[in-house]
Amino acid sequence: MVRVLELRTCDGPGGGPEKTILAGAQRASEVDVTVCYLRDASDACTVVARQAASLGLDYVEVRTRGACDGRVFFRLREIVRQRQVDLVHAHEYKSNLLALLLAKRKEVVPLSTAHGWTGDHWRERYCYYPLDKRVLRRFPQVVSVSSEITRSLIGGGVDSSRIVTIPNGIDAAQFRRDAADRRRVRRRLGIGDGEFLIGSVGRVERQKRFDLLLDVVAHLRPRHPMLRLAVAGDGSLRDALQEQARRKGLADCCQFVGHFHPVGEFYSALDLYVQTSDYEGTANVVLEAMAMEVPLAATEAGGTRDLLREGVDGLIARCGDVESIAGCVQAVLDDPAAAAERVAAARRRVEGELSFDRRCARLEEVYLRLNASRQQANRA
């Protein structure tokens, strides 16, 4: 078996990449995977660890003290040696650098998945992210999760022959709409039978632009008083967005419900899913909405166009444009039959081309190819 170390830095419960990394490790058939997370010593969140345990994964956390804790490298080198790791698969700028350093000191091959560069802090935008792309030039293989990220990698100097684009996938069998869940969750959220519930899921941070979603509801509600909004997720902007809703007179129809588990039940309650992000890699929430057979409208952020065929699987709006997003919502309200056709097409797409099994098979092909090259180089 090829031995792979999945390496990622995380704070709190993480986000979409965590779902993909953990589920992919569970599904691995041709490789033996250890999942390793770097987490600050002050971070007490155990969500990822508990999820890994529930899936029966070989999981280890390395606790760090500050951004430049030199002991982390030596702990990782010990893990690589103990588990006889062949490939180190990194997932963001810090783990990318560590993977490259491990490759220099041990006979391991570094691999990275580029999920995107979404941070808002100036140090990330002007220092860490540009340096990350320079580091990625040294990798023998980089996995990109969308065509937009592929273009960004090439623009950053990464050789196109070393990039393989593998969009995220989803296990559609785990996401099925349930009428009983719908009734129960709508009662829990206080949604009446005749009301139209718009929903969204994600970290309540600037990238997701939930402020635009509130503007969309404010724009449409005079004509559609039955509109309601629920956002599942948490983050630093939750209080500010709730205050925005109050200022706009939407406190009675908009709610931020925090983390919702299981998230599939939240989708069951929705009449329309709306993504308003300014930036995404490949949005797992879009895949989840497609699998849960919810009508879908999303901004063209990141890899959205790799997932949604405009007018076939869902509707696509311009980023940052309230009128464009509101137009997509209005189209669903005006023509439920067309929305139902798009829902059926989206479900077929996640069962086939965007299935998680297909994504895992393509990634394992990359692992096996890199390991074969490593063995050939060692023999030479």
Output the pLDDT for position 120: 67
How many angstroms separate the most distant Cα atoms in the chain? Answer: 73
Rounded mean pLDDT, 2-24: 91
Edge-to-edge strands of the sheet including 272-275? Answer: 254-258, 227-232, 196-201, 272-275, 296-299, 315-317
Q: For residues 67-79, give the mean pLDDT.
A: 90
The pLDDT confidence band at residue 302, using thresholds 50, 70 and 90, is confident
Confidence (pLDDT) at 140: 96
253-268: pLDDT as tens digits: 999 999 998 899 999 9
Does the fold of domain 172-351 match that of domain 2-169+356-379?
yes
pLDDT above 70 (res 151):
yes
Cβ-based neighbours of 183, under 8 Å, separated by 6 or more: none
Kind plus residue range of the DSSP H or E element containing 358: helix 356-379
Q: How many residues does the chain have?
A: 380
Q: Is 85 helix (H, G, I), strand (E, B) or coil?
A: coil
pTM of this structure: 0.85
Instruction: Over range 35-45, report the average pLDDT.
Output: 94
pLDDT (tens digit per residue) in 89-103: 999 999 999 999 999
Q: What is the mean pLDDT of the chain?
A: 94
Percent of the chain past pLDDT 70, that is, above it, reads: 99
Least confident of 17-26, 66-75, 79-88: 66-75
pLDDT reported for residue 131:
94
Domain regions of the chain by residue span: 2-169+356-379, 172-351
From CA 87, how far away is CA 89, in angstroms rounded?
6
- Rounded alpha-carbon distances, angstroms, from residue 218 to 166, 227, 295: 38, 10, 20
Mean pLDDT of 112-121: 85
2-169+356-379, what's its fold? Rossmann fold (3.40.50)
Residue 309 has pLDDT above 90, yes or no: yes
Q: Which of 36, 33, 16 is nearest to 24 (CA)?
A: 33
Q: State pLDDT tens for residues 206-249.
A: 999 999 999 999 999 999 999 999 999 999 999 999 999 999 99
Averaged over 158-184, what is the pLDDT?
A: 94
**Domain spanning 172-351: CATH 3.40.50.2000:** yes
> pLDDT grade, residue 204 (50/70/90)?
very high
Residue 106 pLDDT > 90: no
pLDDT attached to residue 247:
97
With 80 as the cut, is the pLDDT of residue 121 above it? no
The CA-atom distances, in angstroms, between 377 and each of 89, 311, 380 are: 19, 49, 5
pLDDT above 80: residue 7: yes
